[in-house]
Amino acid sequence: MKIVKYLILTLTFICSAVTIQAESYLSHTMRTTILVSDPEHTLDLISSWADESGGYYLYRSVNRIVIRVQSKDIGKLRSYLEEISEAILDISIETEDLRERLVALRSGIKSREEILQKNLSYLDRTDVKGTLAIEQEIKSLLGEIEGLKGQLRNLEVNRKFATGEVNLNFMEETLPVDITSSFEWINSIDFYRFIEEGF
């Protein structure tokens, strides 16, 4: 009997977790600066990782990349960056609850659509001057509704996809120091000597 009770409790907990996951209204943004040896290669790795995780990249430059990944994968992004970088220099994760903004946008759209319907119904009962005024109002309402719908779509995308902004720092901005080895031939191994004497 006790086992059944625990099973039910566990199942309830799992179901709640699934519901919370499915109904998540959180938007995550991770900003980080990582230390890398080869920025170009690292950028390729990050954009490939985003693709493979069902995401995409928004922006890429020589030392910065912005990617969108499914919200559930934002923790995995951190682990992946730890794996491919020399070190994570700085990291911050912002989480925003979008519920309030979503509700405000939805109600804004709804109220404007209601006004739009009312205005449309007035069209048949007005003269030319009134029709022109109502048309102007309808045009303005349609513009507002489209704008709000755009914002709503953007928030829905933010609910589904987290944003990862990754800045890359190249480690070796200072030249390697010259240390003498006990083995003579090893002292002859020097990148700068090689590249400058080679020509």
Residues that bind other proteins (CB under 8 A): 37-41, 86, 170-179, 181, 183-186, 188-189, 191-192, 194-195, 198-199
C-alpha distances (whole Å) from 184 to each of 163, 176, 180, 192, 197 are: 52, 18, 9, 18, 19
| Residues 57 and 50 sit within 8 Å (Cβ to Cβ) | yes
In whole angstroms, the minimum distance from the beta carbon of 80 to other proteins comes to 17
In whole angstroms, the minimum distance from the beta carbon of 199 to other proteins comes to 7
Nearest alpha-carbon partner for 53 in 65, 61, 45? 45
Half-sphere exposure of 76 (CA within 13 A, CB side): 14
Amino acid identity, position 173: E
If the CB atoms of residues 85 and 158 are measured against other proteins, the closer one turns out to be 85
In whole angstroms, the minimum distance from the beta carbon of 1 to other proteins comes to 57
If the CB atoms of residues 83 and 173 are measured against other proteins, the closer one turns out to be 173
Listed in order, strand segments (DSSP E) in the chain are: 26-36, 56-60, 64-70, 87-97, 161-170
In whole angstroms, the minimum distance from the beta carbon of 59 to other proteins comes to 21
If the CB atoms of residues 111 and 188 are measured against other proteins, the closer one turns out to be 188
If the CB atoms of residues 8 and 171 are measured against other proteins, the closer one turns out to be 171
